[in-house]
Structure 1
Amino acid sequence: MLPMLARRLFHLQELALGRPSFRILADLLESERWPRERIRQLQLERLRDIVRQAYEQTPYWREIMDRQGFAPADIRSLNDLGRFPLLEKNTLRERREDMVWRGEGKRVQLVRTSGSTNEALQFYTSSTREAHINAARMRGHEWVGVRRGEKELYYWGSPVELSKQDRVKRARDWLINDGLTNGFEVTPERLKKNFADWLAWRPKCIFGYPSTFVLTVTMARSLGLDLRELRKGGLEVIITTSEMLSAVDRKLIAEGFGVPVRDSYGLREAGLIGHECDQGTMHCMDEQILLETIDPQTLAPTDGEGELVVTNLVGPAFPVIRYRTGDIVTLSKEPCACGRNLSSIHISGGRAVEFVVTREGKWVVGYSFIYIARSVEGIVKFQVVQENIGEICIRLVVDDRFPADGGEQVRKKAAQRLGGDDEIRVEIVDDIAPAPSGKYRPVISKVAEELFAKRAF
């Protein structure tokens, strides 16, 4: 599809869903070059609006403000955000129904997020909130030279079976120049076919998980495939998301594809937080969020590295105020050569996933198990452990919503995802402890670690 026509069709789709994404995008492209003081004034205006709406429309936030002894009119500066207590994941989970404003606008609906720890978070979103997220993402892509309507390939999850609805979605994606390649299951034969498809489709951008890109580059080299050939068809950038992108992995991916790698960072429950520009600075979406850092032990504010705390300024259907993310970051207001006056963020500790390897030789990314865990009620945490080829153990921490046949549901879904005849055990455990480093590992596979070290694909 011609890029301008694809862009127009996407615009019409957004309007049909009640999402003025392109109007918001135009505003963002202007405000990113405002003086810092003007951006802070916008943040204050939006903070006051979200606090007022939260007080008037949601029992939880009214209770909080009454208990703390202040009213929306008392928010006179950004420093007054500190009047609110920190919002914990457990509180969001337990008081969710008291936090929603169901009459906010179009398409107020319950969605689920898990991240790599699958802490079973469900929250409400709306057309208003999704329009701001879509606009922020489009702006981030424009920073690295990709306008909506140009060919973008999403290299991540893909349905196991092609249903009628999937076919409708694929037809729609074709019309708006969105491509999809299954990044959940990578084998040498599939990679050969994917590479041929990519050469034919000629994407300008490929978007996906760092771990999948690292595996793809390493496997391609072992197969004699030169991914740099994609540049001849117009590939200009790789955009990563959802996992930690180390300097080593960034270099490997960039060398493998022959194009720059730009990272993005967000939380489903909090919104898009940052996106790298063409100078490699991860700018924050200052018009949409307020960011703080705290010491994760003492909870005191920090000036340097600390745990990220997020306030969403544009999601009135489900106000998220001073939400603890668990991710370790450093915030900065240092100017960037790109000329944008947005603050920036450096992710120094957060999420990572690994692979398991099936008896048939498929490398299955850990995010595929996250989607399995999302589909069964009552799963609070999960972890997949693989000691031997052809065998995996799925450990689950569950609550009272977990159905009697939940373990069997998980086992069947995992078997469907893996294919073949791998042995799958499901264990219900009291808790899943983090690694000695303090980082939670959703997938631990000695098999994958050994095979990757040997480049044995």
Structure 2
Amino acid sequence: MNGLRIALVGPLPPPAGGIANQTVQLAALLREDGAEVELVQVNPPWRPVWAARVRGMRAALRLPPYLWQLWRAAGRAQLLHVMANSGWSWHLQAAPAIWMGRLRGKGVVLNYRGGEAPAFLAGGATLVCFSLRRAHAVIVPSAYLARVFGEYGISAQIVPNIVNLQRFHPAHKPPGQARILIARHLEALYDHATALRAFALVRKHLPHAQLTICGDGPERPHLQRLAEALQLQSAVHFAGKTDNAAMPAHYQQADLALNPSLADNMPNSVLEAWASGVPVVSTNVGGVPDLIHDDTNGVLVPPADADAMARAMLAVLTDTSTARRLASAGLAAAQRCAWTRIAPLLKAQYRRALKRPPQAGYTALVSALLFPLHEWFKRHRSPALRRQMEATQWWPRARLEALQTERLRALLLHASEHVAYYRQLYARIGFDATRVHDVRDLRCLPILRKSHINDHRDDFCADDAGRLQRFTTGGSSGEPLIFFLGKERISADVAAKWRATRWWGVDIGDREAVMWGSPIELHAQDLWRARRDRVMRSDLLPAFDLSPARLDDYLHRLQKQRPAMLFGYPSVMCLLVQHAQMRQIALDRLGVRVVFVTAERLYEDQRSLLTRAFGAPVANGYGGRDAGFIAHECPEGGMHITAEDVIVEILDAAGEPVPPGENGAIVITHLASRDFPLIRYATGDVGALDPEPCPCGRGLPLLQRVEGRVTDFVVARDGTVMHGLALIYILRDLPQVRAFKIIQETIDCTRVLLVSVAGLPPSLRLSIITQFRARLGQAVDVVIEEVTAIPAEASGKHRYVVSKVASH
């Protein structure tokens, strides 16, 4: 937030309503976090007073100065945060702010509130959604509004209302006072009339009960007359307009907070009551049931039902244990609305709006026209798939799982009809694909390993497959693999990578340098491909030959190209950075906006080195040519699985799923692999699922970590399996060691290839051997071979550890 310039568009008190209070509170909190906030008030006081008496006059007179202030604020800001509601305020205030932000080229976050959204959208969804879709992010305070917008194809992220826990907190008060508080404006929507009738029924059982109503509005004369008719004059106190700063005292005196509204979303009054340790009774309208769980953190009653409302209030007021239980649960719920919990969610949406791909210029031309044409000529569907993925990524987890189940059933049925290997497998184990109703039904099928594919390769090709492309993995997991991919699978992988690239505000067409070593890329650099890369502004820096002269050439090309993004192996990029440091060449002025790394495990020291060197964040990717584009890191740090196309299982040694957070073997099913199906394919990697959602709001499941390939682990003589880091740490920080590679040949022999600065002293050699034996076993033969250079893998990767034992 530090230094971020935000134009916060919304109402300000008076009147001290929910949105106005949230606007003032949000501005203060953002400023405390270092943001520069300019308030653009949509409801300034207007003179002359007579304008308010003429229907539409006040709004008409306010509009020109508001638009002028909005124009100027949008010019100064990096981001517009627009507080929006239903009705004319949307058309006259929120929608113009969205368009003004887009016109000025600024990020726009639309913060929609109000429980009347269903009726409002039903009366004009086409016009409203036309503007809504122009916002870069839409946030709502409740799951209820997210569902409402989802029905109209708008993906809204949930960022709850904020409650000030320093201002609102519990206070000790004597029991049995029966003091009831309502904190809503006196408008028909909030149905104070039913509340008064219910309170009259409460007074029959608790004659000493008192009701305080904080707020003002057009219903006040009617409600005062009703209170007189019900003979409640002495028991009901109309407090009138009450500033938010004065509200804590009212809550601290209350024994119960009542919310009688006819339509609602996420009432601030409920959050404030919870934070103050006051039990709540509310009508079960709109989004309230998403907030209040009946008889858990509050009591819910039907709207406009005075009898039910009275019974609920009496149950709380006359049962101390119930009141205490509800208040305790409410207080815990309020903690989830503290700024410390809300700020990461809001900042994620700000970053989403700020890290958006260019809307104009050469990059936009390539992304919107030239690359889609390229894919059309190749008969790939990646542009359409990418657009679909940018919608489905915001779906809730349950909806994504339903999509996976539907696609899984289609894949399994197709395999039974068109793929000989699976036709025979189904028959042998008695598997019926028509009975698949859940992704967990995959467990009925055996694990697919590379040896199965290599032994039955032709049987994996679908008999209705189109043209297939042959691929080979480098065998870094211990066994090479030859397989085939069809256009469906290639399109899906391109779309997944493309989507992830755009998360970071870069796009196809931005200048890109690729440090890659796959022969697939290097042996196909014909004239057409070279011209294509020039149009796409992509420069390939082969990762095979990394001699000092070649690295000097790469640095020169980077300085000339000034790429917006780098893509490649982390180990190779680190070698380039270390070489640049030796040459005293600064890389943080190249203009790199993000460094994408993939194909190897990313170590934290590598992330730190690359981040410092390029002055840019590092985005980790996980996948492979065989397994596909499995997961990619978003700017909030979540490793999002490409759930639209990939099902990930984490299994133990017995093939059973492990709980989220625990390590296991990574097994994938690629749902776009009908031409050459990979169903329950063992990647050879070890990782864990993340049980927590990502602050970014995407519904895509997460990988908590990828520990590396099975062959990145070593096995001690006593059978203990440990990650290669146990040995890497011994060598990595030694100043005498320039490069190294550890190869566990057998359980009894481990070789260390080592490049030293000026020869390895005998004492250091002995120290290394002693430390290796302490981990692997005292009888293990540790052979240190000093070499002039460490050879790369066949793919060009540079791996620190290779175990020929761990893969067996």
Contact 1:144 1:277 in 2 (8 A): yes
Please state if 1:157 is matched with 2:513: no
Alignment deviations for residues 367-410 of structure 1 (CA, whole Å, 9 cap, x no partner): xxxxxxxxxxxxxxxx9967344688999xxxxxxxxxxxxxx9
Q: Which amino acid aligns with 2:599?
A: S
Counterpart of 2:708 in structure 1 is 350
Counterpart of 1:334 in structure 2 is 692
Q: CA deviation at 1:204?
A: 0.6
Counterpart of 1:84 in structure 2 is 445
Q: CA deviation at 1:190?
A: 3.1
Q: Which runs of 4+ in 1 moved over 6 A?
A: 363-366, 383-386, 391-395
Structure exhibiting the larger radius of gyration computed from Cα positions: 2
**Cα 1:189/1:293, change in 2 over 3 Å:** same
Contact 1:186 1:364 in 2 (8 A): no
Q: CA deviation at 1:81?
A: 0.9
Select 2:657's aligned residue among 298, 301, 311: 301
**Cα 1:100/1:117, change in 2 over 3 Å:** same
Counterpart of 2:427 in structure 1 is 66
Counterpart of 2:398 in structure 1 is 37
**Cα 1:165/1:241, change in 2 over 3 Å:** closer
Between the aligned partners of 2:508 and 2:443, the Cα distance in structure 1 is 38
Contact 1:350 1:439 in 2 (8 A): no
Q: CA deviation at 1:146?
A: 1.3
Q: CA deviation at 1:184?
A: 2.4
* SS of match in other structure, 1:321: coil
Alignment deviations for residues 1-49 of structure 1 (CA, whole Å, 9 cap, x no partner): 9223333222111111110100000000000001111101100000000
Contact 2:472 2:482 in 1 (8 A): yes
**Cα 1:391/1:256, change in 2 over 3 Å:** closer
**Cα 1:114/1:365, change in 2 over 3 Å:** farther
Counterpart of 1:4 in structure 2 is 364
Between the aligned partners of 2:573 and 2:512, the Cα distance in structure 1 is 15
Counterpart of 2:326 in structure 1 is none
Q: CA deviation at 1:286?
A: 0.4
Counterpart of 1:119 in structure 2 is 479
Stretches of structure 2 that go unaligned for 5 or more consecutive residues are 1-360, 713-723, 729-737, 742-750, 755-784
Q: What percent identity do the matched residue pairs reach?
A: 33
Q: CA deviation at 1:142?
A: 0.8
* SS of match in other structure, 1:101: coil
Between the aligned partners of 1:329 and 1:48, the Cα distance in structure 2 is 26
**Cα 1:100/1:130, change in 2 over 3 Å:** same
* SS of match in other structure, 1:279: coil
**Cα 1:130/1:394, change in 2 over 3 Å:** closer
**Cα 1:13/1:332, change in 2 over 3 Å:** same
Counterpart of 2:385 in structure 1 is 24
Select 2:585's aligned residue among 215, 221, 225: 225
How many residue pairs match? The answer is 377
Alignment deviations for residues 155-182 of structure 1 (CA, whole Å, 9 cap, x no partner): 123889x999533321110012211122
Contact 1:6 1:177 in 2 (8 A): no
**Cα 1:165/1:212, change in 2 over 3 Å:** closer
Q: Larger RCO: Structure 1 or Structure 2 (Cα < 8 Å, ≥ 6 residues apart)?
A: 1
Between the aligned partners of 1:196 and 1:216, the Cα distance in structure 2 is 12
Between the aligned partners of 1:151 and 1:225, the Cα distance in structure 2 is 20
Q: Which amino acid aligns with 2:708?
A: G
> Cα RMSD between the aligned structures?
3.3
Q: Name the TM-score, length of structure 1 as normaliser.
A: 0.75
Contact 2:512 2:563 in 1 (8 A): yes
* SS of match in other structure, 1:186: coil
Between the aligned partners of 1:394 and 1:175, the Cα distance in structure 2 is 31
Between the aligned partners of 2:440 and 2:471, the Cα distance in structure 1 is 31
Q: What is the 5 A alignment of 1:190-229? A: 190-229=550-589
Between the aligned partners of 2:516 and 2:560, the Cα distance in structure 1 is 19
Alignment deviations for residues 48-101 of structure 1 (CA, whole Å, 9 cap, x no partner): 000001000011101111122122211122221111111122111111211111
Counterpart of 1:358 in structure 2 is none
Alignment deviations for residues 209-253 of structure 1 (CA, whole Å, 9 cap, x no partner): 11111111112111111111212xxx1010001111011111011
Q: What is the 5 A alignment of 1:164-175? A: 166-175=526-535
Between the aligned partners of 1:175 and 1:221, the Cα distance in structure 2 is 31
Q: Name the TM-score, length of structure 2 as normaliser.
A: 0.44
Counterpart of 2:648 in structure 1 is 291
Between the aligned partners of 1:69 and 1:34, the Cα distance in structure 2 is 35
**Cα 1:45/1:347, change in 2 over 3 Å:** same
**Cα 1:219/1:125, change in 2 over 3 Å:** same
Between the aligned partners of 2:740 and 2:381, the Cα distance in structure 1 is 34
